């Protein structure tokens, strides 16, 4: 995977720099000091220590860390890690230079001279057959001619675990912890990416389902209008079918897209209102205020028409005068839509039915909290105000 390649590139760069550091350091010393020779043995000593860390890192990276990151096997991971750290500690203690010498070894003459106090004087050499002169009985134990007792220097490491060993174990734990953190970061990033892809697929499926609901719902209402118009005025019914064909073309080629040009959505609204005006008399006052020039922006298809369709369905009365008012305003990067309609006596049952429930779901999926929908259902007037950003 892409994340795994990036992770391995990071490790390769870091370890490359670590192994190059001794070479660089020795080269700088040879340049600054002419008495220093480039000695590969010094580099190999450092590389030997790095090789131990590298072997443990590779084992942790490819065998142990996946137990925790991918398999979530915490017990197995921490148990094996405890064993690894214990084995490394034993190895580190046994491989240090101090432990290669027996603690009770006899010091050499040169070591004795180096550690004796300044006031120590050699005892006078005895003549042949005579015993060397001894210090008087009342002489202090560490003064005069008595040899000093060889003790371990105060700054020498403890016999089992020294400061060098503790630092080596700390470095190992930090190295493996950083490796675990990097691997966990890439794994979580990969999980977030897969989750985002699944959410996007789920969003597309939900929107596709909602769009398929719109088409039969819209055609059902439109065909009912045409059926009523055929009995009233057959000639107007023919014009209505022509308008319907234009709307069907829009639904066929644009309705399944996530976004359509704002100009085409407005044209669709204009055709729909024209189709509906053919059916009603002057008792229904229809006011449509649409912009003549719109920016080259996009809008989800069939969002606005749902509210206008709902206004015609529930706002027209054949017994008294009624009205429908729709307005679209485009400002900057946003669209403001408002629709008001009177309420007829039989405007009851569905409260908008499939259409309004559908549009609410689509707005939530498309915009989240980045939209404003306000619906007022008063006694005589039903009003809708919608503000959405343009795509």
Enumerate domains of the chain plus CATH numbers.
Answer: 2-120+139-193 (no CATH), 233-389 (3.30.565.10)
Of the candidates 341, 348, 384, 388, which has an alpha carbon nearest to the alpha carbon of residue 368? 388
6 pLDDT band (50/70/90 cuts)?
Answer: confident
Asked if 255 and 216 touch (Cβ cutoff 8 Å), the reply is no
**What pLDDT sits at residue 372?**
92
The mean of the pLDDT values for the chain is 77
Of the candidates 224, 223, 267, 231, which has an alpha carbon nearest to the alpha carbon of residue 249? 267
Q: How far apart are CA 326 and CA 286, in angstroms?
A: 8
Q: How far apart are CA 250 and CA 254, in angstroms?
A: 5
Of the candidates 365, 382, 381, 364, which has an alpha carbon nearest to the alpha carbon of residue 373? 364
**What pLDDT sits at residue 100?**
38
Q: How far apart are CA 320 and CA 380, in angstroms?
A: 12
**What pLDDT sits at residue 56?**
92
% the chain with pLDDT above 70: 72
pLDDT in tens, 182-210: 888 888 888 888 887 777 777 666 666 65
DSSP 303: S
**What pLDDT sits at residue 137?**
53
Rounded to 10°, the helix 304-315/353-367 angle is 160
Q: Which strand (E) or helix (H) includes residue 66?
A: helix 65-69
Q: How far apart are CA 151 and CA 167, in angstroms?
A: 25
Half-sphere exposure of 210 (CA within 13 A, CB side): 26
Q: How far apart are CA 158 and CA 294, in angstroms?
A: 84
Answer yes or no: is pLDDT of 117 > 70: no
38 pLDDT band (50/70/90 cuts)?
Answer: confident
Asked if 344 and 317 touch (Cβ cutoff 8 Å), the reply is yes
Answer yes or no: is pLDDT of 385 > 90: yes
Answer yes or no: is pLDDT of 2 > 70: no
Of the candidates 87, 81, 84, which has an alpha carbon nearest to the alpha carbon of residue 67? 81
Could you give the 3-state DSSP secondary structure of residue 337?
A: strand
**What pLDDT sits at residue 374?**
93
Q: How far is CA 356 from the centre of its chain?
A: 35
**What pLDDT sits at residue 104?**
41
Higher pLDDT, 91 or 113: 91
Answer yes or no: is pLDDT of 136 > 60: no
Answer yes or no: is pLDDT of 30 > 70: yes
Whether pTM exceeds 0.75? no
**What pLDDT sits at residue 105?**
45
Least confident of 157-166, 180-189, 196-205, 227-236: 157-166
Asked if 287 and 315 touch (Cβ cutoff 8 Å), the reply is no
The burial of 382, by beta-carbon neighbours within 10 Å (0-12 exposed, 13-18 middle, 19 or more buried), is given as: buried
Over range 281-309, report the average pLDDT: 85
pLDDT in tens, 347-366: 544 444 556 777 888 788 78
**What pLDDT sits at residue 55?**
93
**What pLDDT sits at residue 123?**
54
Q: How far apart are CA 52 and CA 50, in angstroms?
A: 5
Q: How far apart are CA 378 and CA 391, in angstroms?
A: 32
Q: How far apart are CA 105 and CA 107, in angstroms?
A: 6
Q: Kindly give the pairing relationship between strand 322-331 and strand 284-289.
A: parallel
Encoding tokens for residue 69? 């990151």
13 pLDDT band (50/70/90 cuts)?
Answer: very high
Answer yes or no: is pLDDT of 102 > 70: no
Residue 324 β-bridge partners: 286, 341
How far, CA to CA in Å, does 295 sit from each of 116, 289, 332, 382? Answer: 97, 17, 9, 30
What end-to-end distance do the CA atoms of the chain give, in Å?
33
Half-sphere exposure of 106 (CA within 13 A, CB side): 2
Answer yes or no: is pLDDT of 233 > 60: yes
Answer yes or no: is pLDDT of 236 > 80: no
The total number of residues shown for the chain amounts to 391
């Amino acid at each position: 995977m892409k994340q795994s390649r990036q992770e391995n590139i990071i490790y390769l760069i870091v370890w490359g720099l670590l192994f190059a550091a001794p070479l660089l350091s020795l080269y700088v010393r040879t340049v600054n000091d002419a008495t220093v020779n480039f000695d590969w043995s010094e580099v190999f000593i450092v590389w030997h220590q790095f090789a131990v860390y590298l072997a443990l890192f590779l084992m942790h990276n490819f065998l142990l860390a996946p137990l925790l990151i991918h398999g979530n096997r915490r017990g197995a991971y921490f148990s094996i890690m405890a064993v690894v750290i214990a084995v490394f500690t034993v190895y580190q203690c046994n491989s240090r230079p101090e432990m290669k010498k027996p603690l009770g070894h006899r010091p050499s003459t040169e070591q004795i001279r180096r550690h004796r106090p300044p006031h120590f004087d050699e005892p006078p050499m005895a003549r042949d057959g005579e015993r060397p002169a001894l210090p008087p009985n009342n002489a202090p134990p560490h003064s005069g001619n008595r040899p000093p007792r060889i003790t371990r220097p105060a700054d020498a490491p403890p016999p089992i675990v020294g400061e060098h060993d503790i630092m080596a174990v700390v470095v190992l734990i930090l190295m493996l912890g950083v490796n675990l953190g990097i691997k966990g970061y890439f794994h979580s990033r990969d999980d977030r990416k897969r989750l985002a892809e699944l959410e996007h697929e789920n969003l597309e499926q939900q929107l596709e389902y909602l769009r398929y609901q719109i088409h039969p719902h819209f055609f059902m209402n439109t065909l009912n209008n045409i059926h009523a118009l055929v009995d009233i005025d057959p000639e107007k019914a023919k014009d209505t079918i022509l308008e319907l064909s234009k709307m069907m073309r829009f639904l066929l080629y644009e309705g399944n897209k996530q976004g359509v040009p704002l100009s085409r959505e407005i044209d669709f609204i204009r055709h729909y209102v024209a189709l509906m005006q053919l059916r009603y008399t002057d008792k229904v006052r229809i006011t449509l205020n649409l912009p003549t020039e719109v920016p080259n922006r996009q809008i989800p298809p069939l969002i606005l028409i749902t509210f206008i369709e709902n206004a015609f369905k529930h706002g027209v009365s054949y017994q008294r005068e009624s009205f429908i008012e729709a307005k679209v305003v485009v400002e900057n990067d946003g669209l403001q839509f408002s629709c008001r309609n009177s309420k007829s006596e039989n405007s009851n049952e569905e409260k908008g039915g499939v259409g309004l429930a559908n549009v609410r779901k689509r707005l939530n999926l498309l915009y989240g909290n980045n939209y404003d929908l306000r619906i007022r259902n008063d006694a005589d007037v039903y009003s809708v105000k919608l503000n959405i950003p343009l795509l």
